[in-house]
Amino acid sequence: MILLCGGEKDSQDRDIKKAKGYWQAYQEKMSKKLRNHEEVVIEQLRNPEMAKAYLDVALEEYEQDGDLAFFLEALQNVAQARSGITRQNLYRDLSPEGNPELRTISLILHNLGYRLSVQPIQ
């Protein structure tokens, strides 16, 4: 908030216009810097190592609490980031309501450059 006091009427009007201009410029600058969370996640998941780590964490979460929806959402995010497949198509194929088969998950992972593997519990 800017508080303008004193001065002549002409200078007050000029100062108010100047302050409004500064505020508008600030808002435009900040709107270019701010992005929503989903945009940032998708951008980061374009990196294959980041995508792999993200899927690893999602699988670990699934092992701990059995929340398949979380893993499927992570797979959707990686597929969207790395392949450009639309979210609508992925949702249809990977939604918990769609009951995705292991074959579907494996095919999507393969197309992204990953594969399912088995590792000993540590």
Residues 99, 54 share a domain:
yes
Which tens digits make up the pLDDT trace of 44-90?
A: 999 999 999 999 999 999 989 988 888 988 998 998 898 877 667 77
* Predicted structure pTM score: 0.64
Q: Which domain holds residue 75?
A: 45-111
**Does the residue 69 lie in any domain?**
yes
Distance CA 21, CA 28 (A): 11
Residues 49, 88 share a domain:
yes
Residues 49, 30 share a domain:
no
Residues 92, 58 share a domain:
yes
**Does the residue 3 lie in any domain?**
no
Number of domains in the chain: 2
**Does the residue 40 lie in any domain?**
no
Residues 94, 52 share a domain:
yes
